[in-house]
Amino acid sequence: MNKFFFTSESVNEGHPDKLADQVSDAVLDACLKQDPHSKVACETACKTGMVMIFGEITTKANVNYEAVVRQTLKNIGYDHKDKGMDYRTANIIVAIEAQSPDIGQGVHGMGEKKEEEIGAGDQGHMFGYATDESDCYMPLTHLLATHLGYRLTVVRKDGTLKWVRPDGKTQVVIEYLRENGAMIPLHVHAILISTQHDETVTNDQINADLIREVINPVMAQYAKDRKTGASLFDEKTKIVTNPSGRFVIGGPHGDAGLTGRKIIIDTYGGWGAHGGGAFSGKDPTKVDRSAAYLCRWIAKSLVHAGKARRVLVQVAYAIGVVEPMSVFVDTYGTGNDEECVRLINHNFDLRPGVFSGTRGLNLKRPIYTKTASYGHFGREDEDFTWEQPKALQDPPASA
């Protein structure tokens, strides 16, 4: 089939799983702010009136974990029990232990190893993906779903739509044309928004307000043909808002939340591939996170350089081992796979201590809370160093 429909979804920062991701990354940032060499593996679980953080942390930082959790809840907007959580009265449970010395010795030698000697913090295989269907080299389905969710949060926080509450989900269906391996968006087929709301608003008002203040602005800015600028959104686009009919009970009161349950939303919306490891709450020695950023950096650099129209990159590691176990590239027929592998080996240092350090992506900084909602990729933020394409140099002819 040359034409097909594809769907991606996103969730707002008030979704209980995203709440958990943000708490875990807020704890990570608090540690890195005082000690860039902190080793953090922080998980979060939440339910009605309760947030629990647990895991392994070894750091010189002196962190008030309870205060970090409460501030994160406040920033999201959980300030009343009717919304599913109140940051002032929530029960905060802390169950943190130190990192296993077996892992510490095997990976970073308890601090005495140089960057180029540091091995991967665990085994795993990570993926990065890029496509030329949007200016930021992200799949358009995922890009639109993410921006709809972000816009929904903006109009909630700035008071434009006072009835909106923190929890919410979006979904976008696009009709595509497959052209020699590349993906060409043809039309926004359907848009779905489910948002938590207060008890007074009617479904008719919800529908009208979301179309006017959320859907139309996002579609006008992002739903365009990249070559012609023509709109991909029109009167034929199906719009569905709050199909359940009522969404007053939400957040942790409506559903439990756990770190790492939204890994596809965090990445490419179902396109490409995912190695399985979650990101949030993990310091850069954990290649589940840092090598996924590396792979995105590589993939975006290849597409930006015109080496492929879309590409999937995989790198695999063994715990404590410096060099990767394997490197894989699939350009879906839009480029030369073997040439791309040679370019990667010539232009990128794949050793974990190097690419996560100052000679690479400079990941030992407190930048992670903002990655934990609205996607880790495709963002216009200078702290997202993996989103800045690298100028590629051709390897010697004999390489």
Tell me if residue 33 is catalytic: no
Tell me if residue 337 is catalytic: no
DSSP secondary structure of 261-299:
S-HHHHTTTTSS---S---TTB-TT-HHHHHHHHHHHHH
Choose, from 35, 56, 115, 339, the residue flagged as catalytic.
56
Choose, from 47, 83, 253, 282, the residue flagged as catalytic.
282
CA distances from 265 to 26, 108, 163, 193, 341 (A): 19, 31, 25, 15, 27
Rounded to whole angstroms, the Cα distance separating 230 from 3 reads 19
At residue 258, what is the residue type? L
β-bridge partners, 171: 9, 192
Choose, from 169, 224, 300, 307, the residue flagged as catalytic.
169
Tell me if residue 15 is catalytic: yes
Tell me if residue 261 is catalytic: yes
Tell me if residue 282 is catalytic: yes
Q: Is 117 helix (H, G, I), strand (E, B) or coil?
A: helix
Choose, from 122, 133, 167, 288, the residue flagged as catalytic.
288
Rounded to whole angstroms, the Cα distance separating 200 from 134 reads 39
Q: Is 22 helix (H, G, I), strand (E, B) or coil?
A: helix
Tell me if residue 286 is catalytic: yes
Choose, from 61, 190, 256, 305, the residue flagged as catalytic.
256
Q: In 284-318, which positions are buried (b, 16+ CB within 10 angstroms) versus exposed (e)?
A: bbbbbbbbbbbbbbbbbbbbbbebbbbbbbbbbbe
Choose, from 13, 17, 132, 330, the residue flagged as catalytic.
17
Choose, from 66, 213, 255, 339, the residue flagged as catalytic.
255
Choose, from 142, 156, 261, 300, the residue flagged as catalytic.
261
Choose, from 108, 253, 286, 307, the residue flagged as catalytic.
286
HEC readout, 49-76? CEEEEEEEEECCCCCCHHHHHHHHHHHH
Choose, from 9, 29, 43, 330, the residue flagged as catalytic.
43
Choose, from 6, 9, 13, 15, the residue flagged as catalytic.
15
Choose, from 6, 9, 13, 18, the residue flagged as catalytic.
18
CA distances from 101 to 51, 58, 98 (A): 28, 10, 8
Rounded to whole angstroms, the Cα distance separating 371 from 384 reads 8
Choose, from 127, 247, 355, 384, the residue flagged as catalytic.
247
Contact criterion met (CB below 8 Å) for 139 and 375: no
Tell me if residue 80 is catalytic: no
Choose, from 253, 262, 309, 364, the residue flagged as catalytic.
262
Give the β-pairing of 238-241 and 182-197: parallel
Tell me if residue 256 is catalytic: yes
Tell me if residue 17 is catalytic: yes
Supply the residues annotated as catalytic. Answer: 15, 17-18, 43, 56, 169, 247, 255-256, 261-262, 282, 286, 288
